[in-house]
Structure 1
Amino acid sequence: MHDDSALIASRIARTYRDRIAPAIRAEQVLIELDAWEAPDEPVPFGAVPRDGFRPIASGDAWGRPWGTTWFRVRAEVPSGWRERAEAGTHDIELVVDLGFIAGQPGFQCEGLVYTPEGSVLKGLEPRNDWVAVDAAAAHVDVLIEAASNPDVGSDWEFRPTALGDKATAGSDPLYRFGGVRLVLRDREVAALERDWSTLEGLLAVLPERSTRRAGLLRALERASDALDPDDVPGTAAPAREALSPALAAASPASTHRVAAVGHAHIDSAWLWPVRETIRKCARTFSNVLDLMDRYPDFVFAASSAQQYAWMKEHYPELFARIRERVAEGRWAPVGGMWVESDTNMPGGEALARQFVAGKGFFLRELGVETTEVWLPDSFGYSGALPQIVAASGSENFLTQKISWNETNVMPHHTFLWEGVDGTRVFTHFPPVDTYNSDLGAVDLARAERQNAERGISDLSLVPFGYGDGGGGPTREMIETGLRKRDLEGSPRVDFLRPDAFFAQARAGHPSPATWSGELYLEFHRGTYTSQARTKAGNRRSEHLLREAELWATVATVRHGAPYPADALRRAWETVLLQQFHDILPGSSIAWVHQQAEENYARVADDLEALIAGALDVLAGDGDQEVVFNAAPIALHGASALAAAPTRADGAGSSVREADGGYVLESDALRVVIDADGEIVSFVDRRAGREVVPPEGRGNVLQLFRDTPNQWDAWDIDHHFNRTPLAPARTAAIRIEGNAVVVEREVGRSSVVQRLRIAPHGSALDIETTVDWHERQKLLKLAFDVDVLADTAASEIQFGHIRRPIHANTSWDAARFETVAHRWLHVDEPGFGVTIANDRVYGHDVTRRARAGGGGATRVRESLLRAPVFPDPEADQGVHVFRHAVSTGGVLDAAAEGYRLNLPPRIRRGRPVEPIVRIDGAPSILVEAVKLAEDGSGDVVVRLYEARGARASGRLVPGFAVADARRTDLLERALESGSGDPLALELRPFELVTLRLRRA
């Protein structure tokens, strides 16, 4: 028998494309309209002038980059349309083509439709271009706020462009107006289109010679016969009848089940600035609300409390409607964080505050507590996160990004994720491998095919809707999902809230496997380094916030000074927003990072003023010279969390020229620097140990070609190691005061370094100033260490993680660039070396052969990159890095990290006793001291065990306490026994929050 399936499939495809889809819009009327262009930044609805509008026609150019144009649309509904609309056979719609271009929604022009009174109707996107008109309306009167956002990368090409910087984007129009039409939409044809699309989609995923596929081909062929190409509306009903048996065929009991969750992953900044994200949220959320009015089963999940807060501030009417749907249960706030944050680089307290701010907003404003952490697109997940999730009162975790791994495939999709402290959180990776699904056959087949737990758990989650740039679900997606609730050949689709999905997933998989440690993304490793100024601003802001909260708390408790809660909250919200996973990682357009740097400068000014005010209160009229030390760990006799009189350091440091090099010495160290400015000897005098291996070097600047295969700002690919460039050239070296100053040239850039013994005498401080003028280059600072280390300990939130240095397995080899916070430590039994920093996150640690036998370790800090997309001017200019090299254990490493990032403040005044201290356990560190979020005046202390070992100690308050309780991150009391909450018995890396009510 002749196989004519290809011919049938061709006919089916053409019938859909050329006959059915065009016939949905039965009649159309082009509308004349006019437009007004805002002169600069967007204006609110109330500021749009009544006059000043000019006619605009289809084909006219409009929209300078990042501009806003208001279109005024007025039209009469044609006679006869209303009768058909009121009869329920047709819908009247306004269809708008702003000049949409091919490509994904969210990366080009968009619009928001208003009534003449200023109420939001819905958003306009390339694939969501319609606005409903009331069936009884005789005329249409709306305004459209259109954003002419440039398409700067939706097709993922390497396209360095000036459009990402408003200052260089120019003013030439980007789009040609496509026109506005009043349309009569045929409901029966629209239903046929979804029937047809749903079944035709299955043809692409079913086995070539399967019975079901053959049946679908014949059903669609019969429907093609029933459809009159000259009268599609008149024959749509018999065509649908021909398809009804195929649509009614039920799936077998063993079919994979899909929890379809409406979603719109909206990046809080990326290829657009934050101000545009606010408008993207309004467009997307108004679309969702419109769909909820039409589809009672449709549910939607949206994360990021910041985005809800924007709606409350800028679109209060829209926020009120969202609040109603949340109360109804169909709109699900998820995530519990202020934004979908990066989790690699925020410090411990900052990551905790993502949940304090996020869950606090949801509880306060929406009356809900989120139980799941929703991070589909962040670039890897810290091993500290499970404990933070649990401490926030959340239970479940979702991401999709690990499916992007370049080398290894994660072995599970539903499992328990165990953090560095042993806390486990129930985790799901949607096997659909996208957070932008359309519920089409290809996506759902992939979800079933890739589900690693098939045979154990038959359920997975599918987030559907256009994302990244927003847009969200469409009515076509929902209609597709409704047809797949029980359809042979497709996974079963249920519209579920995320919490309902997790409840079912837990019940259906009571004994999941466990994955221990961080969820390292084998991709986007360059995000630890790109946009160094943004990273420096984050690091500095985190520590200024620590100081401001600490000293303000002491001033309030000891002297009754007003606590600046509102100012601190504003500063935190700015910092938390900028930890979003395309801002802090350095993967946004220039405009985003320029604004981030401006915001960090403003935060620094505000916090410095708060700190100065608190210190004025604390110092009083004393005349001693005192050191205010906000660090939680005492360093060489310094008082922690206190202000103590200054003292001579007693280090006996000196610098001299000798034997063609330079020698820096103290009681603890002897460091030799050669004529090139590199360290050739580093002797720990107390241990009698040389740190630099034979033929090794420290303080070596290395420049590499940095041309990633795919994503410039995101990626460092392993092949960079094979393309080193000319070594740094030393232009001058000299002694200035107590430092050796080295002037170098590397590539087209200049470097000035100052090397000196630290004031306490036990570390070498290196200040590196780089005037950077490279393109697609990577600058690393390398140290050879005479330690045979198996692992490297890298500081993460509330502790550290040990990663293997070897590359024995593909998993180990893929971790060729890793993240650390303030310090990285390598050791062998009895001896260790630390490299601490004040702004670096990217590192690599490798084993190297040691001259004379054995092995040594090389530690390299990634200082700067120069990607050209999405910001072609990334990191150009001057940067200052501070490092410290020292010996000791991990607590010594922690002390050096705090010293570099929390420089002491010296002023005249009176000593100040610690507000709290830890007795009996040097490894228990106080991370934050603040007043309670509820304004009660209670003192909140957050602390953790830092060594990775069990510890016993006691928190001793420096004020009278009426009551003490252990709480979660949101400062809610936890159930506890009758023991003393100030007596601390901590497991390794345990995080504890204590709430102290003042007497």
Structure 2
Amino acid sequence: MPYETKKIKLEKAKGLLPRIRDSIYEPIAALNVTAWVTKEPVSYAERTSGQPLELRPGDKWGNLWDCAWFRFEGQVPDTASGKKAVLLIDVNGELCLVDREGSPLQGLTNINSEFDYSLGLPGKRVVDLGASAAGQRIDLWADAGCNDLFGKYRSGTLKEADIAICHEEVRQLYYDYEVLLELAAQLPDANARKDQVLQSLYDAALVLEKITDESVSRARAILAKQLEKRGGDPTLTVSAIGHAHMDLAWLWPIRETIRKGARTFSTVLRNMEKYPGYMFGASQPQLYQWMKERYPALYESIKERVEEGRWEVQGAMWVEPDTNISGGEALVRQILYGKRFFEQEFGKEMKVLWLPDVFGYNANLPQLLKQSGVDYMMTQKLSWSVYNSHPHHSFHWEGIDGSKVLTHLPPEDTYNSPGAPRSLVKIENNYLDRNVSEHALMLFGIGDGGGGPGEEHLERLAREENLLGLPAVVQETSLSFFEKLEREQDRFQTYRGELYLEKHQGTLTTQARNKWYNRKMEKALRELEFAASLVLALGGEGYPAAELEEIWKEVLLYQFHDILPGSSITRVFDESLERYGILHRRVQELVGERYAEAARLAGFGGDRAVVANSLPWEREELVEHEGAFYAVQVPPMGVAALTEEQRVVAGSGRFGDSELHACETLLENQYLRVGFDADGSIVSLYDKTAGRESIEPGKKANALTLYHDKGDAWDFPRDYRDTVAGTMELAGSRACIEGSQAVLEQTYRFGESTLVQRITLASQGTTVRFETKADWRESEKMLRAAFPVSVMTDQVNCEIQFGYLKRPTTRNTMIEFVRDEICAHQYIDLSQPDYGVALLSDSKYGYSAERNVLDINLLRSPDYPDPVADRAEHAFTYAIYPHQGDFVQAKVYRKGYELNAPLTVVKSSGGGADSEIAGLRSLLQLDNPNVMVEAVKKAEDSEHLIIRLYEASGTRAQASVAFGVACQTIEEIDLMERPTALLKEEAASVELSFRPFEIKTLRIKMKSN
């Protein structure tokens, strides 16, 4: 007689699994349920302040984002005597049970949450009462949010609230059966192990035609023979760590993230009580800080598990930020504040950068990590690329300066692993570096409020630890994994340059107002720290260290990878824009105060106006003060008086208007002549000094073109150029001379939108500025400005954090084809050896450069997840800069800084008359034009001054740094402000040697300190 076919065996086994699952829990009594509903969260002490509702399953209790305190009451019937009793609770929202002091105990999540169900079911509904709960009085309070784990509304009705018996043997049988069933499905057909596992499953299914205590016991005995079979020496060991990816805002507001954290972390702690081998990790100090502030008892329990070694604090940044748009110094502060928090709170040195979900990785990040003592990086987002696959899962990532970090991409391509046999098989089959590595990482659990790993993950892993037919798996920390991986590193390949994600290019532009504020806040904080440091150098006091740290941390929060990129819901941006406005005004106020104090200490008496320059080169520019223009000359990183002799006199030729011309078709000064077409576009940009045209003949520049954009916040169509929606139409123009600049003001309209550009050319200017205000009301449209220039080159130079990156202007390969939209900060430039043209911006990040066309993405208005994204009033500036020589010779990076860091005019804070010889006017001076000072600040833990410099041109450089104060010591330090070398003592200058793009940080102790 032949055996039953494999297909029939497998189908019978699959059909049995739901029957086993449905037999685990047996409801025996209903809970009484009362809810007090509020629009916003209230404290435990105020839990009965909302609208009271008596509820039964099926009753509605709330709408999206409503909150409620639930009370569950009842008594466990005597029928539960000697049996394991549980509560089954599902409110169609997210729920957090609390103790009698209101501290989080356990999170519960509705079963029908939106999720990738191929990874498993996300819900958590079971509350264990134990084996001796008969007669126990139930009186539980819980804090609820009327949203699922992805912020979606799921009817707002109570689904389930029961006391039930858990048939423990059936529960154990379920996981025995599930693991073996999936193992059989993963094994190849011609495999003896598959045949044996299938036969055992089939035999157990025959026994379980009726599920009884006896049949369950017999079935488990049959299956145990297969579960007990061990693997041999592993060719691959999978390091598994529990994970709950937490977006600090996305499809929910920040306030809900704080509660998600409490639900998730309390669930982790409960599962750690049940599963002694459970290892869990979580990143982002900001999230821990919220737990510390809002849930101190929960936070103390977390600290105990960290001390025990079962909870790994992960990541080296304050949040998991966008690393394309965030500025270089901001990324330094992410690491500085992030690592300091974990060290101060937990005594842990962070060695791993944990960024599973950000949208691409800038090419100077390896240097920031190595200079911060971070040796490893983990991400998985590159698996989302559309056209090309990244060639490695384990590799050395090399940045533009030559620094390398050991990097691993979990081969399962997810941070929500079900921890199932299919997970382990996928890792083994997909691992691109398995020929040279025996170790891979798996992140198991459910994120974004899903409570992290559930019992299903941990039960599976317990059965899979060394199960024959699967790669070995062990629960351990990510740091332990990387230390093992490091022993294999000599065989790994090196990948140099940016890690470009072939998706989500729309995030370089979406939510333009947030990006504008981000740039302004980064620059304003730089200005404030310099101004406050100048006061210290002059012997003053009052460095606002605590307030600066508080503001920085909030700015870093808004750089989270779903806030700054623009991929959250409306409420997130309404709230962040309001806070940005408050922060920006406060920082500007502090800048004025500190510069005024510096002017007083420097000897500028009375209420004299002074001009401050935070950039490390002398600036000869026009500034406006009280309605008048002044031609000033300000020393590098210093201050100068504003005098009557500097006032611009009309027609004087000294920064006056004698060589300026302006009409509706022309702007001109002694350096440039700009010609305009009747439609407002530029048809000529003639460089008088070079004697050549900068715009490609016959082409139009700055034509404001709209494209249909049916994408979402993350993505726009790659073929958008084929779907032109039209151009902004010129509705009026006005030309004039204003003080020392020629101005052409153009008004454009399209649909319901209006855009006004003040195109300006200063009397001594070599750039054409486009000061833009837009009332943008279009939906599913993208607005771009293109500049076809008379330069041909195969590479475009794009400023990134602490340097630049060269990218191809050709589209010869699929890699070039899909990297059409690129990120740049203050400039993007096309240069031949003798000539070039740069495009500068004060707040834009999305660009394209194909052949000889520079293109900037100004605005886009997708409908999801914010249906009113960027339908608002905007203000931004960009500029075009033709130059002789290439972009290094022309010092293009300086033009970018000057656009973003204008001179500051303030009045001295008082005092007597001017000193005959005023005090310190320049804090420091450099003798190399390619070395930039990015930051000057007070040290975190002392009165030293910190000075951060970098080489900006991509060459080796020697630079002498002369200080305006005598220094007791000059040290080199790392980005964590730890000394690495004593450079000089009793000196006022130091000589430095830079590698290309090298960042150097100095710590000086001033004699006055």
Instruction: Specify the code of the residue in structure 2 equivalent to 1:687.
Output: A
The question of 1:876 aligning with 2:871 is answered yes
CA contact (8 A) 2:745 2:756 kept: yes
Greater CA drift, 330-339 or 644-653: 644-653
1:734 is paired with a residue of what secondary structure?
A: strand
Cα distance in 1, alignment partners of residues 931 and 507 from structure 2: 31
Deviation at 1:811, TM superposition (A): 1.1
Greater CA drift, 524-533 or 233-242: 233-242
Distance 1:696 1:652, change over 3 A: farther
Instruction: Specify the code of the residue in structure 1 equivalent to 2:144.
Output: A
2:848 is paired with a residue of what secondary structure?
A: strand
Cα distance in 2, alignment partners of residues 698 and 377 from structure 1: 37
1:219 counterpart residue number? 200
The question of 1:13 aligning with 2:14 is answered yes
CA shift digits 1:774-830 (9 cap, x unpaired)? 111110011111111221111111111111111122111111000111111110102
Deviation at 1:536, TM superposition (A): 0.7
Aligned residues between the structures = 949
The question of 1:210 aligning with 2:195 is answered no
Distance 1:835 1:50, change over 3 A: closer
- RMSD over aligned CA atoms reads 2.1
Alignment of 1:619-630 (within 5 A): 619-620=599-600, 621-622=605-606, 624-630=608-614
1:682 counterpart residue number? 685
Deviation at 1:666, TM superposition (A): 2.0
CA contact (8 A) 2:662 2:736 kept: no
Cα distance in 1, alignment partners of residues 688 and 51 from structure 2: 79
The question of 1:962 aligning with 2:942 is answered no
Deviation at 1:699, TM superposition (A): 1.5
Cα distance in 2, alignment partners of residues 151 and 243 from structure 1: 35
CA shift digits 1:307-358 (9 cap, x unpaired)? 0000000111111111111111111111110100000001110011000111
Distance 1:963 1:250, change over 3 A: same
Deviation at 1:230, TM superposition (A): 4.2
Identity of aligned residues (%): 38
Instruction: Specify the code of the residue in structure 2 equivalent to 1:276.
Output: E
Deviation at 1:670, TM superposition (A): 1.8
Q: 1:185 aligns with which of 141, 166, 186?
A: 166
Cα distance in 2, alignment partners of residues 789 and 96 from structure 1: 65
Cα distance in 2, alignment partners of residues 714 and 398 from structure 1: 22
Greater CA drift, 949-958 or 360-369: 949-958
2:899 is paired with a residue of what secondary structure?
A: helix
Greater CA drift, 979-988 or 962-971: 979-988
Cα distance in 2, alignment partners of residues 959 and 431 from structure 1: 54
Cα distance in 2, alignment partners of residues 615 and 668 from structure 1: 34
Q: Which runs of 5+ in 2 are unaligned?
A: 112-122, 621-632, 649-653, 909-913
2:756 counterpart residue number? 752
CA shift digits 1:265-292 (9 cap, x unpaired)? 0000000010000000110011111111
CA contact (8 A) 2:264 2:449 kept: no
Instruction: Specify the code of the residue in structure 2 equivalent to 1:5.
Output: K
1:586 is paired with a residue of what secondary structure?
A: coil
Q: 2:226 aligns with which of 241, 246, 255?
A: 246
1:644 counterpart residue number? 640
Instruction: Specify the code of the residue in structure 1 equivalent to 2:943.
Output: G
CA shift digits 1:570-611 (9 cap, x unpaired)? 110110000000000000000001111011101112111211
Deviation at 1:510, TM superposition (A): 2.5
Instruction: Specify the code of the residue in structure 1 equivalent to 2:105.
Output: L
CA contact (8 A) 2:509 2:565 kept: yes
Q: 1:989 aligns with which of 986, 997, 1004?
A: 997
Cα distance in 2, alignment partners of residues 993 and 692 from structure 1: 41
1:46 is paired with a residue of what secondary structure?
A: helix
CA shift digits 1:220-263 (9 cap, x unpaired)? 011112335241x3322211110112112223435432111100
The question of 1:444 aligning with 2:432 is answered no
CA contact (8 A) 1:267 1:469 kept: no
Alignment of 1:358-757 (within 5 A): 358-620=338-600, 621-622=605-606, 624-636=608-620, 638-646=634-642, 647=646, 650-651=654-655, 654-656=659-661, 662-708=665-711, 712-737=712-737, 738-757=742-761
2:78 is paired with a residue of what secondary structure?
A: coil
CA contact (8 A) 1:918 1:924 kept: no
Distance 1:821 1:966, change over 3 A: same
CA contact (8 A) 1:266 1:470 kept: no
Deviation at 1:746, TM superposition (A): 2.9
The question of 1:945 aligning with 2:951 is answered yes
The question of 1:30 aligning with 2:30 is answered yes
Deviation at 1:153, TM superposition (A): 7.3
Deviation at 1:443, TM superposition (A): 2.2
Cα distance in 1, alignment partners of residues 166 and 684 from structure 2: 80
Distance 1:914 1:216, change over 3 A: farther
CA shift digits 1:11-70 (9 cap, x unpaired)? 11121112x1122114532111211112x3101112223897442111101112211111
CA contact (8 A) 1:250 1:486 kept: yes
1:859 counterpart residue number? 854
CA shift digits 1:897-942 (9 cap, x unpaired)? 11221122223447774563243211111111111112x2111111
The question of 1:97 aligning with 2:87 is answered no
Alignment of 1:203-352 (within 5 A): 203-227=184-208, 229-231=210-212, 233-352=213-332
Deviation at 1:565, TM superposition (A): 1.1
The question of 1:133 aligning with 2:129 is answered yes
CA contact (8 A) 1:675 1:733 kept: no
Cα distance in 2, alignment partners of residues 33 and 150 from structure 1: 20
Distance 1:51 1:438, change over 3 A: closer
Instruction: Specify the code of the residue in structure 2 equivalent to 1:735.
Output: A
Cα distance in 1, alignment partners of residues 679 and 161 from structure 2: 69
2:778 is paired with a residue of what secondary structure?
A: coil
CA contact (8 A) 1:703 1:747 kept: no
Alignment of 1:804-815 (within 5 A): 804-815=808-819
1:62 is paired with a residue of what secondary structure?
A: coil
Q: Which runs of 5+ in 1 are unaligned?
A: 85-90, 100-108, 155-162, 164-172, 848-856
Q: 1:971 aligns with which of 977, 983, 994?
A: 977
2:623 counterpart residue number? none
1:143 counterpart residue number? 141
Instruction: Specify the code of the residue in structure 2 equivalent to 1:56.
Output: L
Deviation at 1:97, TM superposition (A): 1.3
Instruction: Specify the code of the residue in structure 1 equivalent to 2:782.
Output: L
Cα distance in 1, alignment partners of residues 786 and 17 from structure 2: 62
CA shift digits 1:867-924 (9 cap, x unpaired)? 0000110000211120121133246322221122112222344777456324321111
1:426 is paired with a residue of what secondary structure?
A: strand
Distance 1:915 1:3, change over 3 A: farther
CA contact (8 A) 1:768 1:881 kept: yes
Instruction: Specify the code of the residue in structure 2 equivalent to 1:121.
Output: L
CA contact (8 A) 1:951 1:987 kept: yes
Greater CA drift, 504-513 or 643-652: 643-652
1:538 is paired with a residue of what secondary structure?
A: helix
Q: 1:835 aligns with which of 821, 828, 839?
A: 839
Cα distance in 1, alignment partners of residues 799 and 482 from structure 2: 32
Deviation at 1:442, TM superposition (A): 2.3
Cα distance in 2, alignment partners of residues 731 and 217 from structure 1: 76
CA contact (8 A) 1:707 1:720 kept: no
Cα distance in 2, alignment partners of residues 807 and 966 from structure 1: 43
1:166 counterpart residue number? none
Distance 1:328 1:914, change over 3 A: farther
TM-score between both structures, scaled by the size of structure 2: 0.91
1:850 counterpart residue number? none
2:891 is paired with a residue of what secondary structure?
A: helix
Deviation at 1:770, TM superposition (A): 1.6
Deviation at 1:743, TM superposition (A): 1.4
